Structure 1
Amino acid sequence: MSQESPTTRRIHGQDADQRRQARREALLDAALDLFARHGFHQVSVDQICQTATVSTKSFYGIFRSREDCYLALHNHVTEQVMTQLAEVIEQTPAGVEPPVSALIEAFAAPYLHEPRYGTVLFGKGAAVTPTIDRLRRENRQWGAEFVVTIWRDTHPEVDVPAGVAIGVVGGLFEIIRQWSKGDLDPDTLRTELRSFYDATHQGLFGRRATRH
């Protein structure tokens, strides 16, 4: 009978890749909880490892630094938002403005599912470093281009300045930031995001009814 090599040996039914993934998820869960409760700058790698019951050596085998761990949380949320917004577009006929309720739900989904993301990415738990600031600007730029594409496709008669869309996306993120400091009621977030978007839409395109 052939024996498994060390790289393929299974422990508790998991191979090396599965164990690495499990450690990564444990570290991210611990980091999310600690960053939300204490803030990025008050949490050490050792604290994350102790909470996750993962060795420091294993941490550095997965993440380069505490900032890298934070970026993984940030990118996880961003990917969810991009994926769900893309699905809304795919389900909407060409030339028709996507339902606002669907856009808002897609944009807010990660924060509604896990309110701690709002605290960690925008609230008291947020990190402030040059790399993270640059990533936030890139995300806002992507969001602005997404909004401009929708508006130009569905309202070609109106020239929408790119700066307006950047302001809209920034306003939506600010609403999430403020919400993350409050009671975290899901309907409050949906209502405030929708009200802000509708007000901007009416200001640009008049009182055309936005689709529900």
Structure 2
Amino acid sequence: MQGTSAAQAKVWRGSTSEQRSDERRQRLLVAGLEIFGTTGYHSSTVSGLCSAATVSTRTFYELFNQRADLLEAIYAQVTDQIRVDIEQLPTPTVADIEQWAGDAVRAVVGPLLADLRACQIIEIEVVGLSEQIEERRRQTTLAIAQGLDAVQLALTDPAAPQPSRADRELVGVFVVGGISESLVAHLRTPPADRRSAEELLDMMTAILLRVLKP
């Protein structure tokens, strides 16, 4: 009976303490996406984030040690999904490389152009913030770049010398880095002068094909 009472004590209005904690964390992630992605990380405050998320500052510090941890959590949420989307793409052949390139660019860049708040966070707000976040950025770049490894091998003529792993990795990092800098330039271009999302995706696809197509 004592165990049952203890379990019941954790339930309030139909949800457990863990569920309430998850809900508050999600509200902070949503608030962080809006605030970090519009007014910027350095202009934000814990109190402002808490007000937007309708949680107390005590709750914030129960979930995150500092604002940078919330920013990193948002970064991880967005980039982890991009990595999953990339991994789900089939390895292309020479015959369908153009379709694959378009799908790959849309998997990586499409979500960021669809929500420029996420793009602002991924490409600008996290840069140089801390060594921990920089290491995560490097690992994320490398992981996405490695998604091009099997693609490069699949497109190489079997009769020709195979590119080394180091060479394939360099090409992948070059492509991902170029995409990243293109997005920064897009964000810094006045909205009235920006290319449309479709135009930018098409241009990136064409450039990727120039790099990969045999």
For 1:6, give the aligned amino acid: A
Task: Please tell me whether residue 130 in structure 1 is matched to residue 131 in structure 2.
Answer: yes
Task: Please tell me whether residue 113 in structure 1 is matched to residue 114 in structure 2.
Answer: yes
Residue 188 to residue 63, structure 1, CA distance change in 2 (3 Å): farther
Distance 2:58 2:90 in 1: 43
- 47-56 vs 157-166, greater mean Cα deviation: 157-166
8 Å contact kept, 1:84–1:106? yes
8 Å contact kept, 1:111–1:117? yes
For 2:163, give the aligned amino acid: D
Distance 2:25 2:204 in 1: 33
Distance 1:69 1:31 in 2: 7
TM-score (norm 2): 0.80
Distance 2:126 2:43 in 1: 11
TM-score (norm 1): 0.81
Alpha-carbon distance, 1:113 to partner = 3.4
Pick the aligned partner of 1:170 from 174, 177, 196: 177
In the alignment, structure 1 segments of 5+ residues that lack a partner are 206-212
Give the corresponding residue for 1:190. Answer: 201
Give the corresponding residue for 1:10. Answer: 12
The list of structure 1 runs, each at least 4 consecutive aligned residues, that deviate by more than 6 angstroms after superposition, is: none
RMSD value, Cα: 2.6
Distance 1:127 1:68 in 2: 14
Distance 2:181 2:38 in 1: 20
8 Å contact kept, 1:39–1:127? no
Alpha-carbon distance, 1:127 to partner = 4.7
Give the corresponding residue for 2:52. Answer: 51
In the TM superposition, 1:129-148 aligns within 5 A as 129-148=130-149
Secondary structure of the corresponding residue to residue 42 of structure 2: helix
Distance 2:88 2:144 in 1: 15
- 112-121 vs 22-31, greater mean Cα deviation: 112-121
Distance 1:192 1:24 in 2: 38
Alpha-carbon distance, 1:32 to partner = 1.3
Distance 2:35 2:64 in 1: 17
Count of matched residue pairs: 198
Alpha-carbon distance, 1:114 to partner = 1.9
8 Å contact kept, 2:50–2:56? yes
Give the corresponding residue for 1:67. Answer: 68
Alpha-carbon distance, 1:180 to partner = 2.6
